Amino acid sequence: MIRCSTPTLAAAILAAALIQVPACAQSEDDAGPSPAAEREPTPTLTADLKTFATEPLRWRRREWLRFAGVAAAVGVAYQYDDDVRDHYGNDGEPDYHEVADAMPPAILFGATWFADKLGHNEDAHRQAAMMRRALVVQTISAEVLKVAFRRERPGPGVPRGRWNENDLDFSFPSGHTAAAFAIGTVFAESGDDKRRRLRRAVGYGAGALVAYQRVNHDAHWFSDTVAGAALGIATAKFVMRRHEGKEPRGIFSLQPMEDGTMVTYTVPLR
């Protein structure tokens, strides 16, 4: 019974992950919370996990098209797994890289945490809380996916298409990459817009660095890191939307007129 339910849950989680990547807040659901919603208690971890896993049940045509596009990107990366490994991978890297590869997001989270604790910065406090929640949701989701797909890690003589293995150390998706992008995305998309370019360069750069390290240290296939990046970005934006109520920078809308159609662009000011 477990073997039947686990892939189903994994597929739902992966679908929810991939569709969140190009998130554009242009629907009423994404337009930010009402004053009453802002006073609601913070969603629990259980509620976040349930909502994230069941997200595909609420999709419409647009979301399914986005999912197909991002899933195709993972499929293209899969076709290049052998080529990327031959060019960047190094056989037999020691296990200590597991800790070293986790350092970029750890440093990013640590800096945010210290800004909260030492500087009593309210923005840093919210960002650190969202980083923790995104990390937990991502970690649980990644482990479910790994058990469902059971892909063997790269190694000497290991083909890229070896799935459904009985090993205990699975490869798809990359948990390190997902964690780095979960923390990095919260950092990149939080705060004011004055340092947006810098924050995005640091946040997404940390994720890209970890993805490269995982391939270079022969710990993951290229497609593992692409799926991991999708999962990390997805969980971060999901958590931010539920816990911060971020408003869009601008919303386009169409309004019928007698002589044509009026296009409006609304920017929320606070």
**The predicted structure's pLDDT at residue 245:** 56
Confidence of residue 201 (pLDDT cuts 50, 70, 90): very high
Is pLDDT above 80 for 270? no
Segment 65-110, tens digit of pLDDT: 878 888 898 899 999 998 888 888 776 555 557 788 888 888 888 8
- Segment 16-70, tens digit of pLDDT: 444 444 333 333 344 444 443 444 567 777 877 788 878 888 888 887 887 888 8
Q: How large is the average pLDDT for residues 202-214?
A: 92
pLDDT digit string (tens) for 109-126?
Answer: 888 888 877 867 778 888
What Rg, from alpha-carbon coordinates, does the chain have? 20
- pLDDT at 215 exceeding the cut of 50: yes
Annotate the chain with DSSP letters as a single string: -HHHHHHHHHHHHHHHHHHHTT----SGGGS---HHHHTSPPPPHHHHHHHHHTGGGG--HHHHHHHHHHHHHHHHHHHTHHHHHHHH--TT--TTHHHHTTHHHHHHHHHHHHHHHHH--HHHHHHHHHHHHHHHHHHHHHHHHHHHH-PBPP-TT--TT--S---SSB-SS-HHHHHHHHHHHHHHHSS-STTHHHHHHHHHHHHHHHHHHHHHTTSS-HHHHHHHHHHHHHHHHHHHHHHT-PPPS-EEEEEEETTEEEEEEE----
Average pLDDT over residues 184-201: 86
pLDDT, position 38: 44
